[in-house]
A and B are shown apart, each in its own frame.
Chain A
Amino acid sequence: MEQVIQLEKVNKWYDDFHVLKDIDLSVQRGQKIVVCGPSGSGKSTMIRCINRLEAHQKGHIVVHNTELTNDLKNIDMIRKNVGMVFQQFNLFPHLSVIDNISLAPIWVKKMPKKEAEDIAMSYLEKVKIPEQAQKFPGQLSGGQQQRVAIARSLAMNPDIMLFDEPTSALDPEMIKEVLDVMIQLAEEGMTMLVVTHEMGFAKTVADQMIFMDEGKIVEQATPDEFFNNPKSDRTKLFLSQILNH
C-alpha cells in the first residue's frame, strides 16, 4: 500500500487556543476515511491543514512524499493534486457553471479552452447536471451547487479529495444527491478524507473512522468496530447523541 498523506505530531494554535494537539494520521492510496466529532473539535482545521489553507505550527505533514512548509512551489504542487469541497460550496458567483469548472484547468494546467470545457462537461455529466452548464451558481439549488463544486475539484484530476462537511449546508432532500456522487467517487477508488455527520454514508464507504474531540484524535477504528464496539466513553456519548435523534 502506498502512503499518500502522513501527519506526524501536528499542533496548531489560534493565539492561545490549542486547536490541534499531536495529531498522527496516515492515509493510504484508495483509502476512505471519515472524520467525525463535535463542533469545535478541530476536524475541519485538520483537513484544511492538509492543503495548507491553514498553516500548522509544529509537527510534520507530508503529502505525496512532499513536506508542507512555507515553500510556495510545494504548496502549489500539492494543491493541484488535492481537491477540496467546502461546506458553503464557494462557487464563483460571477462565473457560469462551466466557467467555474474550466477555470483551474485553463489557468493552472494551462489547457486549451476547448479541451478544458470538454473535461468540464464530462464531469458535469458525472455529477448528473450537464444541462445546467450555462447557468450561474445563484440559479442552482444547494444540492446542484455542491455537485458543481465537486465537479470543479475533480476537473483538476486530483488523486486525493478532501470534503469539509459537504452536506451540512444542504436541505435534507438534497443531501442524498450529493452523497450519491460521493459514493460513486468512492467506488471508483478515489482517496477520500471526509468530515461529515452522515453516519449512513460512513457505514457504506468508510475504511476507517476517526473520532476527534478537543483537538485530539480520540478513536480510530474500522466502521464495524467503531459503531458496534466503541472503546472511548466520549465516542459512545457522541454516537448516542448523533444516532438517536
Chain B
Amino acid sequence: MTTFSNQSLMRNKYYNWIIKNLFSSWVNSLMTVVAIIFIYEVGTFFLNWAFFAADFRTNFQGELITDRSFCSKNIMPGEYGACWAIIYARWDQFMYGFYPIEEVWRVNFVYALLPLAIIGILFDKLPFRKYFIYFTFIYPFLAYFMLYGGPGLSVVGTNKWGGLLVTLFLGVTGIGLAFPLSIILALGRRSKMPIVKSLCVVFIEFIRGVPLITLLFTANVMLPLFLPDGVNPDNLLRALVAVTLFQSAYMAEAIRGGLQAIPRGQIEAAQSLGLNYWQTTRKIILPQALKIAIPPIVNTCIGLFKDTSLVLIIGLFDLLGIGRAALADMTWTKLYYEVYVFISLVFFIFCFGMSRYSLYLEKKLKTDNS
C-alpha cells in the first residue's frame, strides 16, 4: 500500500527528502551509515591535523616557530598536527618568489588590478563594461611595466620572479596571447584553402599529440639555437612561448567546436545581405561561435593553469617550485604535507572558481537559447 495515513507527514518536504535520499531502501540506509562513519573518521582526522592539533605561528608551548625543530610534532611524541609555520615563514616567496622585498608593492599593485582587468570579460551585463574592456587591453602593458620596471622603476629581472607571480604570469599571459592565435588557427582549420587548412591541422594536431613537457624542453633548449646572436630570451619567456603555443592549439579546438555549432543558415543569410568573408566572420559567425565556445575555452584555461606547474621541471620557480625549494631547505625539510596541501589549496581555489564560472555560463547559455 502506498497510502499514507498522515497527510501532514507526507507533505513535509524535509522528511520526504531524507527518506528519498538517505533511507529509501535498506541498502540505501546501510550506505548512509557507512558514509557517516567514513565522513566522521576522515573529517575528524583531517580537522584535527589541519586545525585543532596544528601549530600556526607558535607551538604548544607558545614559542614562535622559527624552524622545524620547534614544531610540536617534533617535540612531543604523539603530536601529529600540521606545522603551518613554514607557510608563514615562506609566505613572501610563495607570493612573489625572490622579488626584492622593497619592490613587492609593485607586485601587489598588479595583483590588485587583476580582478578589474578580468571582470569585464567575465560578465556581459556589467555596468560600464566598455571601460572595463578597455582596461583589459591596457592591463598587460601596465602589468609588464610594473613588474619588470623601466623608466622611473628599477628593473627586476624575471629570474627574480617566482611563486604565485610566475604561476599567474604564465597562466594569464599564456591565455591572453593564445586567444588571438587560436582564433586564426580555428578559422584556418575550417578554411576552404587546402594549404592553409592543412598547415593549421598539422600544427594543432602536432601540439595536441605531444606532452607539454617536451614543448617546454624544446623551447628551453632549442629557442636559443633558432634565434640570432643578440636575441636571447630568458627562461621565463621561453616557457611562455611553449605555453602559448600549447594553449593556442587546445583553445583552437574549443573555438572550432563553437564554429561548427553555427547553423549554415547564418552564413547564408549574411552572404545574401552582401557581407564578404571577413564581415561575415567578424560580425556574424565569431560573436555567436565564441559565446558557445566560452565554457570549453574556460576548461582549457583550467588545464593550462594547472599545467603551469610543469615549468619547475625546466628550473623555474612557480608555486610548486617554490614549495619544493622550501622543502629542500634544511630548516624546514620534511614538512611535505603542509606545503603540498597549501599549494593544492591555492590551485584548487583558482581552478574550482574557473570551473564554477564555466558551469554558470553553460547554464546561462541554455536558458538564453530556450
Which residues of A pack against B, CB within 8 Å? Answer: 13, 15-16, 55-60, 69-70
Using Cβ atoms and an 8 Å threshold, which residues of chain A touch B11? 13, 16
Select one of A13, A15, A16, A69 contacting B2, CB under 8 A: A69
Report the nearest B residue to A67, measured CB to CB.
Answer: B1
Q: How far is the CB of B11 from chain A (nearest CB, A)?
A: 7
The answer to whether B4 has its CB under 8 Å from any CB of chain A is yes
Q: How far is the CB of A70 from chain B (nearest CB, A)?
A: 7
The answer to whether B3 has its CB under 8 Å from any CB of chain A is yes
Select one of B1, B10, B16 contacting A69, CB under 8 A: B1
Complex A-B: 18 CB contacts under 8 Å: A13-B11, A15-B13, A15-B16, A16-B11, A16-B13, A55-B2, A56-B2, A57-B2, A57-B3, A57-B4, A57-B10, A58-B2, A58-B3, A58-B4, A58-B10, A59-B3, A69-B2, A70-B2
Q: How far is the CB of A62 from chain B (nearest CB, A)?
A: 12
Using Cβ atoms and an 8 Å threshold, which residues of chain B touch A60? 3
Most buried by B among A16, A58, A60, A70: A58
CB interface residues, B 1-25, toward A, < 8 Å: 1-4, 10-11, 13, 16
12 extra interface residue pairs, beta carbon distance < 8 Å, beyond A55-B2, A69-B1: A13-B11, A15-B16, A16-B13, A56-B2, A57-B2, A57-B3, A57-B10, A58-B2, A58-B3, A60-B3, A69-B2, A70-B2
How far is it, in angstroms, between the C-alpha of A60 and the C-alpha of B2 when the chains are bound?
9
How far is it, in angstroms, between the C-alpha of A70 and the C-alpha of B13 when the chains are bound?
21
Q: How far is the CB of A94 from chain B (nearest CB, A)?
A: 24
Q: How far is the CB of B18 from chain A (nearest CB, A)?
A: 14
How far is it, in angstroms, between the C-alpha of A59 and the C-alpha of B1 when the chains are bound?
9
How far is it, in angstroms, between the C-alpha of A197 and the C-alpha of B10 when the chains are bound?
34
Most buried by A among B2, B10, B16: B2
How far is it, in angstroms, between the C-alpha of A13 and the C-alpha of B3 when the chains are bound?
13
Q: How many residues of B contact A (CB 8 A)?
A: 8
How far is it, in angstroms, between the C-alpha of A55 and the C-alpha of B2 when the chains are bound?
8
Number of A-B residue pairs with CB-CB distance less than 8 Å in the complex they form: 21
Using Cβ atoms and an 8 Å threshold, which residues of chain A touch B4? 57-58
Encoded as 1 (CB less than 8 Å from any A CB) or 0, chain B from 220 to 250 comes to: 0000000000000000000000000000000
Using Cβ atoms and an 8 Å threshold, which residues of chain A touch B10? 13, 57-58
Using Cβ atoms and an 8 Å threshold, which residues of chain B touch A56? 2
Q: How far is the CB of A75 from chain B (nearest CB, A)?
A: 12
Q: How far is the CB of A227 from chain B (nearest CB, A)?
A: 36
Using Cβ atoms and an 8 Å threshold, which residues of chain B touch A57? 2-4, 10
Using Cβ atoms and an 8 Å threshold, which residues of chain A touch B2? 55-58, 69-70
Report the nearest B residue to A56, measured CB to CB.
Answer: B2
Report the nearest B residue to A18, measured CB to CB.
Answer: B11
Using Cβ atoms and an 8 Å threshold, which residues of chain A touch B3? 57-60
Using Cβ atoms and an 8 Å threshold, which residues of chain B touch A58? 2-4, 10
For the complex of A and B, list the 10 residue pairs with the smallest distance between their C-beta atoms, beginning with the closest: A58-B3, A69-B1, A69-B2, A57-B2, A55-B2, A15-B13, A57-B10, A57-B4, A58-B4, A70-B2
Report the nearest B residue to A59, measured CB to CB.
Answer: B3
Report the nearest A residue to B13, measured CB to CB.
Answer: A15
Using Cβ atoms and an 8 Å threshold, which residues of chain B touch A70? 2
How far is it, in angstroms, between the C-alpha of A69 and the C-alpha of B16 when the chains are bound?
18
Q: How far is the CB of B314 from chain A (nearest CB, A)?
A: 48
Report the nearest A residue to B10, measured CB to CB.
Answer: A57
Using Cβ atoms and an 8 Å threshold, which residues of chain B touch A55? 2
Using Cβ atoms and an 8 Å threshold, which residues of chain A touch B1? 69
Using Cβ atoms and an 8 Å threshold, which residues of chain B touch A13? 10-11
Most buried by B among A15, A55, A57: A57
CB interface residues, B 257-293, toward A, < 8 Å: none
Q: How far is the CB of A1 from chain B (nearest CB, A)?
A: 28
Q: How far is the CB of B17 from chain A (nearest CB, A)?
A: 9
Q: How far is the CB of A139 from chain B (nearest CB, A)?
A: 22
How far is it, in angstroms, between the C-alpha of A60 and the C-alpha of B11 when the chains are bound?
19
How far is it, in angstroms, between the C-alpha of A175 and the C-alpha of B2 when the chains are bound?
38
How far is it, in angstroms, between the C-alpha of A10 and the C-alpha of B4 when the chains are bound?
12
Report the nearest A residue to B7, measured CB to CB.
Answer: A58
How far is it, in angstroms, between the C-alpha of A16 and the C-alpha of B14 when the chains are bound?
12
Q: How far is the CB of A3 from chain B (nearest CB, A)?
A: 21
Q: How far is the CB of A73 from chain B (nearest CB, A)?
A: 15
Using Cβ atoms and an 8 Å threshold, which residues of chain B touch A59? 3
Q: How far is the CB of A9 from chain B (nearest CB, A)?
A: 9
How far is it, in angstroms, between the C-alpha of A57 and the C-alpha of B1 when the chains are bound?
9
How far is it, in angstroms, between the C-alpha of A57 and the C-alpha of B19 when the chains are bound?
14
Q: How far is the CB of B10 from chain A (nearest CB, A)?
A: 6
Using Cβ atoms and an 8 Å threshold, which residues of chain B touch A69? 1-2
Q: How far is the CB of A175 from chain B (nearest CB, A)?
A: 25
How far is it, in angstroms, between the C-alpha of A59 and the C-alpha of B4 when the chains are bound?
9
How far is it, in angstroms, between the C-alpha of A15 and the C-alpha of B15 when the chains are bound?
11
How far is it, in angstroms, between the C-alpha of A33 and the C-alpha of B68 when the chains are bound?
83
Q: How far is the CB of B190 from chain A (nearest CB, A)?
A: 26
Report the nearest A residue to B1, measured CB to CB.
Answer: A69
Q: How far is the CB of A46 from chain B (nearest CB, A)?
A: 16
